[in-house]
Amino acid sequence: MPSLNRTLCHILPLMLLCQPATAQDAAPPAEPPFTSIQPGDFAIAGSLSNSWADFENDGDLDLVVSLKGGDIRLYRNDNGTFVNVGPELGLPTSGPEMRGVAWGDYDGDGWIDLLGGATMPGEQSLVFRNEGGRKFTNVAPELGLTIPNRSARQTSWVDYDNDGDLDVYAANRIGPNSLYRNDKGKFVQVLAGTGVSDSRPTVGACWFDYNRDGFLDVFLANQSGAADALWRNNGDGSFTDVAPELGLDNPGRSKEEGGVGCAVGDYDNDGYLDLFVPNYGVNALYHNNGDGTFTNVAKEMGVGIDNHAVGAVWGDYDNDGYLDLYVTSYHGPRDQQQPRDSLFHNEAGKGFRQVLAETSQLNVGDHGVQWVDYDRDGALDLSVMRGYTSQGGHFLFHNDLDRAAARRSLSVTLLDAKGRFTRMGAEVRLYDKAGKILATRQLSTGDGYNSENAAPLHFGLKTTDAVKVEVTWMSRKGRKIQTLPNVDPAKYAGKSLVIRER
């Protein structure tokens, strides 16, 4: 006699009972618990850029926010309370709008500096040298980094030539993109003939070593119907656009469509960095196949929606060992835009599920977004910008993950051999005692849109067992591996495992 299940499978009205469950079929996880932090202080319209770093080297992360009116606010983290110290430290309170705000130690003095990319052509970008955490001085003219006649929507500190110091890349909405080589503390624009000075309207740039040849390549998200680009770093100072042959160019879009931001992360823990591209149009999720090719899996993974997406960031907010994805989006006519954000929970690398209701308190973003553990409790908090309408602001939400789950994490800080923050693009992988890969992270070069994060790398863990930590540095000799065996995550609760390049 056939089994009950087999009988049901022959009854047409009940056929769905026999179908395998997918990530999208399962009951939705509850929206994660978050608490809004200092909402009265942060409710300032026109908030655009979102960048975190420890500017005073006191061990906690501070926040810089740029506003439409030219105000660059620097919120010092005083044990979890944020105080705007920008004016007293020399940052502007008005002036040209800056969207491409990014942190990097360009002069290697151990104090992280701040770059502000001017939004409008005719305005000059700014570089604020950090004077020992006590003040900031604009040195852009003397460095050759005013980036004239451009619209720098996303800026990146990145060592593209692996010579040990930070260069600058400006993704420009108007005018060709700009690459500046750091030449002993002065910056020289790399000639357009190298290929990377893309003239398409670029608003997002993500650097990562997609083909594992030891040199950082750059993906460009382009607007106004232009095809996207992936410029392969040839290692000799030149670049080649390989997006068409790899299927990453997304051609044939209307003028109203285009890429906006981008985010790099290993969502399925196979050791290879994948790429998410939020679009005006259908979002793309490019799975890295591990052989230098990619496959767009956005639809089957549940993130291929048309939601007028802007920014995106990967982060394991529930410490289950898999990267989740936050995407800022908006809808509505000009000057009446309303957020329509998504928090996609990662279902063990097999799919994603939206866990935000439209009425969620987290549904407030339309520009930059970052995950950051600002209070070092082991759980990622959410920092998100809203630039449109008078209801805008910069929002910070504390992750109220239970203490046991928060302790299942490891924070990793990467520094060069001299203890400086200059190794953007380096990769970290964790392995269990059996040698199985647990997770991969990359030190940010400015993922997302109007966002950058000079924060420690965060790993959520399923257990608190010891792990092997493997760092991949980009060097003149290619990819260089450094390994730390038997790292006990509990030893680094409330602080970060600091690894210097050797």
Helices (H), 71-113: 86-89
- Asked, for residue 282, whether it belongs to a domain, the answer is yes
Contact in structure between 428 and 469 (CB atoms under 8 Å): yes
73-87 average pLDDT score? 97
383-406 average pLDDT score? 91
**Phi/psi of residue 284, each to 5°?**
-125, 140
How far is residue 347's CA from residue 323's CA, in Å, rounded to a whole number?
A: 9
Q: Are strands 393-399 and 381-386 parallel, antiparallel or unpaired?
A: antiparallel
The model's confidence at residue 119, banded by pLDDT at 50, 70 and 90, is confident
- Asked, for residue 158, whether it belongs to a domain, the answer is yes
The range of the structural domain enclosing residue 88 comes to 34-403
- Among 12-16, 102-106, 161-165, 494-498, name the one with the lowest average pLDDT: 12-16
- Among 21-35, 48-62, 156-170, name the one with the lowest average pLDDT: 21-35
- Asked, for residue 169, whether it belongs to a domain, the answer is yes
- Among 189-193, 297-301, 435-439, name the one with the lowest average pLDDT: 189-193
pLDDT for the residue 15: 34
SS3 of residue 293 by DSSP? coil
Residue of 317, 464, 461 lying closest to 379 (CA atoms): 317
- Asked, for residue 371, whether it belongs to a domain, the answer is yes
Q: Which residues fall within 8 angstroms of residue 380, CB to CB, at 6 or more apart?
A: 315, 316, 317, 371, 372, 373, 399, 458, 460
pLDDT for the residue 194: 74
Q: Extract the tokens encoding 75.
A: 């919120």
Contact in structure between 259 and 222 (CB atoms under 8 Å): yes
Q: Extract the tokens encoding 422.
A: 């200059």
The model's confidence at residue 8, banded by pLDDT at 50, 70 and 90, is very low
Helix (H), strand (E) at residue 222: strand 217-222
Q: Which residues fall within 8 angstroms of residue 447, CB to CB, at 6 or more apart?
A: 206, 261, 262, 263, 264, 312, 313, 314, 453
Dihedral in degrees, nearest 10, Cα atoms 313, 160, 441, 306? 30
pLDDT above 70: residue 248: yes
Beta strands in 443-487 (DSSP E): 451-453, 457-460, 467-475, 478-487
CA distance from start to end of the chain: 68
106-124 average pLDDT score? 91
The model's confidence at residue 193, banded by pLDDT at 50, 70 and 90, is low
What single string gives the DSSP state of each residue in 389-436? STT-EEEEEEE---HHHHTSEEEEEEE-TTS-S--TT-EEEEE-TTS-
Residue with tokens 């030891």: 214
420-449 average pLDDT score? 93
pLDDT above 60: residue 479: yes
Residue of 351, 352, 349 lying closest to 327 (CA atoms): 352
Contact in structure between 1 and 364 (CB atoms under 8 Å): no
How far is residue 440's CA from residue 449's CA, in Å, rounded to a whole number?
A: 22
231-244 average pLDDT score? 96
The arrangement of strands across the sheet holding 393-399 comes to 34-37, 393-399, 381-386, 369-372
**How many Cβ atoms are within 10 Å of 470's Cβ, its own excluded?**
18
pLDDT above 80: residue 487: yes
16-27 average pLDDT score? 41
**How many Cβ atoms are within 10 Å of 315's Cβ, its own excluded?**
24
Amino acid at 64: V
Angstrom distances, CA of residue 335 to CA of 198, 258, 387, 391 = 31, 21, 10, 10
Average pLDDT, the chain: 90
170-192 average pLDDT score? 90
Chain segment 29-60, per-residue pLDDT in tens: 678 999 999 999 999 988 988 899 999 999 99
pLDDT for the residue 4: 36
**How many Cβ atoms are within 10 Å of 203's Cβ, its own excluded?**
26
Beta strands in 316-401 (DSSP E): 324-331, 338-339, 342-346, 352-354, 369-372, 381-386, 393-399
- Asked, for residue 222, whether it belongs to a domain, the answer is yes
Residue with tokens 């950058």: 452
pLDDT above 50: residue 68: yes
pLDDT for the residue 387: 84
304-314 average pLDDT score? 94
Angstrom distances, CA of residue 190 to CA of 124, 170, 195, 209, 239 = 18, 12, 10, 20, 11
How far is residue 144's CA from residue 449's CA, in Å, rounded to a whole number?
A: 24
Note the pTM of the prediction, 2 decimals: 0.92
Beta strands in 38-172 (DSSP E): 47-53, 62-67, 72-78, 81-84, 98-104, 113-118, 126-130, 136-138, 152-158, 167-172
pLDDT above 60: residue 27: no
pLDDT for the residue 13: 36
Residue with tokens 């008005």: 94
pLDDT above 70: residue 22: no
Percent of all residues in the chain with a pLDDT value above 90, rounded to a whole number: 75
- Among 58-67, 271-280, 389-398, 480-489, name the one with the lowest average pLDDT: 389-398
- Asked, for residue 454, whether it belongs to a domain, the answer is no
Contact in structure between 188 and 208 (CB atoms under 8 Å): no
Angstrom distances, CA of residue 465 to CA of 404, 414, 487 = 14, 22, 9
Helix (H), strand (E) at residue 206: strand 202-208
How far is residue 105's CA from residue 114's CA, in Å, rounded to a whole number?
A: 8
How far is residue 244's CA from residue 440's CA, in Å, rounded to a whole number?
A: 27
258-277 average pLDDT score? 97
- Among 11-15, 85-89, 170-174, name the one with the lowest average pLDDT: 11-15
Higher pLDDT, 286 or 334: 286
Percent of all residues in the chain with a pLDDT value above 70, rounded to a whole number: 93
Q: Extract the tokens encoding 434.
A: 């059996």
Tell me the β-bridge partners of 437: 431
pLDDT for the residue 19: 37
Output the domain CATH number for residue 318: 2.130.10.130
205-227 average pLDDT score? 96
- Among 107-111, 158-162, 385-389, 492-496, name the one with the lowest average pLDDT: 385-389
Residue of 343, 404, 397, 341 lying closest to 373 (CA atoms): 397
- Asked, for residue 61, whether it belongs to a domain, the answer is yes
- Asked, for residue 177, whether it belongs to a domain, the answer is yes
pLDDT for the residue 28: 54
Specify which of 99-108, 144-153, 329-338, 428-437 reaches the highest per-range mean pLDDT: 428-437
Residue of 373, 342, 309, 344 lying closest to 59 (CA atoms): 373
Task: Provide the domain count of the chain.
Answer: 1
